[in-house]
């Protein structure tokens, strides 16, 4: 694969980015692709390791190791290296319906499992994937796939996030008549409204949606199942239904003062701002502005970082990011060996922008919010915190322990809660009579995706809980295959 000595001859070369202080003045993506010559060199670093853990997609110690989609990484790296870009695209699309999404937002568990990463910096798998799919669009190789024959079977997909889109795309390839329902005014789910533009420009999402529409997939927006159309009507109209509504109940912080104004869930903060940007370039004033405000983001994950970057672009006076977990190690520890997903500290784009603009990393670790304070008008003015340390109980389970004497007060005009999600919205599952588990996720075995109600399937975060876009696509593909079997008795879908 690639060049046998490539990993010894060429160093890892990342995509370059626009300067932090320049890019915070707009909402555009900020990566700058490297030349084709350099990209061939990066593909040549793939080392013919014999056992490509990068495409294994297994779970180790509770986290993904390798690509959950089982992307044929060594194969398309080799095809890039020898200049067969269209063949590389064909290989990539065998396992991944939407590489343009995963190449932008996936945390790349494939790279964490790269064998070269044991001794050297890993292959630039994610960047190579981006180069392939964008080359495919530039060359006109990606065209609508319109089935020659339709089966006459009708399928409703509820939710147009990555799981729903993957299910719809696969079922359409089998010739079924697919309708996707979305309660928002635009399809795309979290791809449209949950991820800000600078991380995933919406013309990239719309480009794919336009292709799917040309392929015969119908999208019905502004429609909430159970309200705008009853579940009975839906099940009578369609031969099968796939639920891909996501894990949309945000984790709350139930402490004193939570009812104060200007404390927002991250999903609301990001979605309202993205919608206003798309609708009017912020001229409608229908968004949550952090301009001239002191902002505190509670939650240290990718979404928290997106909130930091959004606040900076809005012109905040300051921004902090609080994380209850301890700071990760700079390199792997003995408790996190390869090929596990690397639990190492990374400084993401929003944090880098904060450092460039304000001169400090916004993150503070092992800190817990005890209460919010407000003024006489009911607006938040700050929050009280305490530092914690993590200890093990008699079972070996970690738990947080407050450290006396570490109480602090931080001023805040806006607080954003970015602490993840705790399950799906029960009103929909209850209306269908679908069983859920203690976390509110639909009970449907992985790989089968069948619920307790006939002809209704479930996939993505709605079934597995909050997870990665790449897992959502994987589950959407699998649910489509099982639905296809249900409708026709067999399936050739992967």
pLDDT (tens digit per residue) in 147-180: 999 999 999 999 999 999 999 999 999 999 999 9
**Phi, psi (deg, nearest 5) at residue 487:** -80, -35
Is pLDDT above 90 for 40?
Answer: yes
Written as six digits, the tokens of 397 are: 């389970």
Going through 43-87 in order, the beta strands assigned E by DSSP cover 58-60, 63-65
Q: How much is the pLDDT for 3?
A: 83
DSSP 183-241: SSSSS-TIIIIIS-TTTS-HHHHHHHHHHHHHTT-EEE-S--BTTTB-HHHHHHH-SEE
Select from 425, 69, 373 the least CA-distant residue to 267: 425
Cα Dmax for the chain: 71
Tell whether omega for the bond before 410 is within 30 degrees of 0, i.e. cis: no
In order of start, what are the domains of the chain with their CATH numbers? 6-138 (1.10.1060.10), 154-248+422-488 (3.50.50.60), 263-417 (3.50.50.60)
* CB contact at 8 A, 457 and 483: yes
Q: Give CA 157 to chain center in angstroms.
A: 19
C-alpha span between 250 and 455 (Å, rounded): 29
CA angle 328, 333, 339 (to 5 degrees): 105
Q: How much is the pLDDT for 474?
A: 97
> Which pLDDT tens digit goes with each residue over 375-415?
999 999 999 999 999 998 888 888 999 999 999 999 999 99
Q: What percent of the chain has pLDDT over 90?
A: 94
Select from 293, 298, 284 the least CA-distant residue to 318: 293
Cβ neighbours of residue 428 closer than 8 Å, sequence gap 6 or more? 158, 225, 226, 243, 245
Q: Checking phi first, is residue 266 left (phi over 0); if not, alpha (psi -120 to 50) or beta?
A: alpha
C-alpha span between 24 and 312 (Å, rounded): 7
Q: How much is the pLDDT for 261?
A: 98
Written as six digits, the tokens of 320 are: 């902090």
Q: What is the mean pLDDT of residues 465-484?
A: 97
Q: Checking phi first, is residue 8 left (phi over 0); if not, alpha (psi -120 to 50) or beta?
A: alpha
C-alpha span between 204 and 165 (Å, rounded): 14
Q: Which residues pair with 414 in a beta bridge?
A: 295
Q: What is the mean pLDDT of residues 419-444?
A: 94
pLDDT-derived band at 1, boundaries 50, 70, 90? low
C-alpha span between 44 and 42 (Å, rounded): 5
CA angle 62, 67, 73 (to 5 degrees): 155
Q: Checking phi first, is residue 473 left (phi over 0); if not, alpha (psi -120 to 50) or beta?
A: alpha
DSSP H or E run through 157: strand 154-158
Cβ neighbours of residue 412 closer than 8 Å, sequence gap 6 or more? 294, 295, 296, 380, 381, 382, 383
Written as six digits, the tokens of 25 are: 């003045």
At what angle are helices 73-81 and 125-138 packed, to 10 degrees? 60
Is pLDDT above 90 for 278?
Answer: yes
Q: What is the mean pLDDT of residues 203-213?
A: 98
Is pLDDT above 70 for 216?
Answer: yes
> Which pLDDT tens digit goes with each residue over 220-270?
999 999 999 999 999 999 999 999 999 999 999 999 999 999 999 999 999
Is pLDDT above 80 for 353?
Answer: yes
> The pTM is what?
0.96
pLDDT averaged over the chain?
A: 96
pLDDT-derived band at 203, boundaries 50, 70, 90? very high
The 3-state DSSP class for residue 363 equals strand
Select from 114, 102, 95, 104 the least CA-distant residue to 42: 114
Q: How much is the pLDDT for 351?
A: 98
Q: What is the DSSP letter of 446?
A: T
Q: How much is the pLDDT for 48?
A: 81
Q: Give CA 406 to chain center in angstroms.
A: 35
Select from 465, 40, 434, 421 the least CA-distant residue to 234: 434
Q: What is the mean pLDDT of residues 329-343?
A: 94
DSSP 429-468: HHHHT--B-TTS-B---TTT-B-SSTTEEE-THHHH-S--
């Amino acid at each position: 694969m690639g060049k046998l000595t490539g990993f010894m001859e060429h160093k890892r070369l990342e995509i370059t980015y626009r300067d932090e202080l320049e890019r915070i003045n707009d909402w555009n993506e900020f990566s700058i692709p490297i030349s084709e010559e350099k990209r061939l060199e990066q593909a040549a670093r793939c080392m013919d390791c014999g056992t490509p853990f990068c495409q294994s997609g297994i779970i180790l110690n509770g986290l993904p190791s390798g690509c959950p989609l089982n992307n044929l990484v060594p194969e398309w790296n080799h095809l890039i290296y020898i200049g067969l870009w269209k063949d590389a695209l064909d290989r990539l699309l065998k396992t991944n319906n939407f590489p343009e999404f995963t190449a932008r937002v996936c945390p790349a568990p494939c790279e964490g499992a790269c064998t070269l990463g044991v001794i050297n910096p890993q292959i630039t798998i994610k960047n190579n994937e981006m180069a392939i799919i964008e080359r495919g669009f530039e060359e006109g190789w990606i065209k609508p796939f319109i089935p020659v024959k339709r089966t006459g079977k009708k399928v409703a997909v509820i939710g147009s996030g990555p799981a729903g889109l993957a299910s719809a795309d696969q079922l359409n390839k089998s010739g079924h008549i697919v309708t996707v329902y979305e309660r928002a005014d635009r399809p795309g789910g979290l791809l449209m409204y949950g991820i800000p533009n600078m991380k995933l420009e919406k013309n990239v999402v719309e480009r794919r949606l336009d292709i799917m529409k040309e392929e015969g997939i119908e999208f019905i927006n502004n429609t909430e199942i159970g309200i705008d159309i009853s579940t009975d009507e839906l099940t009578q109209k369609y031969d099968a239904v796939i639920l891909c509504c996501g894990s949309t109940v945000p984790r709350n912080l139930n402490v004193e003062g939570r009812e104060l104004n200007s404390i927002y869930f991250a999903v609301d903060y990001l979605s309202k701002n993205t919608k206003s940007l798309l609708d009017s370039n912020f001229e409608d004033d229908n968004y949550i502005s952090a301009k001239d405000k002191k902002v505190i983001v509670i939650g240290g994950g990718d979404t928290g970082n997106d909130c930091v970057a959004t606040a900076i672009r809005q012109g905040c006076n300051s921004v902090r990011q609080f994380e209850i977990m301890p700071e990760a190690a700079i390199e792997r520890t003995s408790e996190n060996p390869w090929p596990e997903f690397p639990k190492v500290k990374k400084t993401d784009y929003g944090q880098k922008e904060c450092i460039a603009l304000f001169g400090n990393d916004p993150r503070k670790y092992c800190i817990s919010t005890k209460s919010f304070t407000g003024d006489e008008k009911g607006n938040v003015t700050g929050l009280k915190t305490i530092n914690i340390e993590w200890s093990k109980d008699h079972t070996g389970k970690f738990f947080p322990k407050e450290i006396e004497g570490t109480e602090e007060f931080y001023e805040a005009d806006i607080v954003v809660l970015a602490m993840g999600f705790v399950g799906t919205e029960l009103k929909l599952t209850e209306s269908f009579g679908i069983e859920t588990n203690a976390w509110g996720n639909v009970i449907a075995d992985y790989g089968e995706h069948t619920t307790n109600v006939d002809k209704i399937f479930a996939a993505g975060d709605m079934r597995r809980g909050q997870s990665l876009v790449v897992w959502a696509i994987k589950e959407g593909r699998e649910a489509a295959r099982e639905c296809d079997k249900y409708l026709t008795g067999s399936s050739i879908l992967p």
